[in-house]
Amino acid sequence: MAESTDMDELLQSFKKFAIHGDTKATGKEMNGKNWAKLCKDCKVIDGKSITGTDVDIVFTKVKAKTSRVITYEEFQKALEQLAPKRFKGQSKEEALQSIYKLIEGKEPTNVGVTKVAKTAAVDRLTDTSKYTGSHKERFDESGKGKGKDGREEVVEHTGYVAAYKNAGSYEEKTKAK
């Protein structure tokens, strides 16, 4: 009974790593990049007995010749090949259980992802209320960009100079007299 729950956790980890970084992934197949990430994040790669090259070689061995991805069954075969190499002093079954324990319940980590800088200089430079000149015309009062209307030089055939603030006021002045 305990083994079935362990296998469920292993399958969940497989699915989480399979969809990591790929919006079109279903979680049924894992590509080589995500396989390498799984091995690195779950500490299967230790740098001594198993390296990144070993992981790539095992991936190539277990996948189908024309395929670029591995299924869950092929994933288990790959772990069976890596287990005795990673845990040398243990029997094949113990090594396999040990490698499963490394992976079970793990998720992809986002170490080294660039964070948004929140400094006063960035806030000052991106505050649209402080923009002047032609740049000020690209944003409305709320600070939202006007899009193409704010960038494009729209030609108006009114007889006034472009961006003249009092356009259309000449008729009102002459009628008032």
Q: What is the pLDDT along the chain (177 residues), one digit of tens a residue?
A: 345 556 788 888 888 888 888 888 888 899 999 999 988 888 888 888 899 999 999 999 999 899 999 999 999 999 999 989 888 888 888 988 988 888 888 888 876 666 776 777 777 777 777 888 777 777 887 878 777 776 666 677 777 777 777 877 877 777 766
- Give how far the C-alpha of residue 152 lies from the chain's centroid of Cα atoms, to the nearest Å: 33
Range of the domain at 126: 115-155
Please give the pLDDT value at position 4: 58
78 in the same domain as 11: yes
Distance of alpha carbon 39 from alpha carbon 22, whole angstroms: 18
Question: For residue 84, is it within any domain?
Answer: yes
Q: Note whether residue 166 is domain-resident.
A: no
Q: Is residue 127 part of a domain?
A: yes
CA–CA separation, 152 and 72 (whole Å): 53
96 with 120, same domain? no
Q: Is there a domain that residue 137 lies in?
A: yes
How many domains would you assign to the chain?
Answer: 2
Q: Are residues 36 and 58 in the same domain?
A: yes
Cα separation of 126 and 119, whole Å?
11
pLDDT score recorded for residue 60: 93
What are the residues facing 30 on neighbouring strands? 70
**21 and 93, same domain (yes or no):** yes
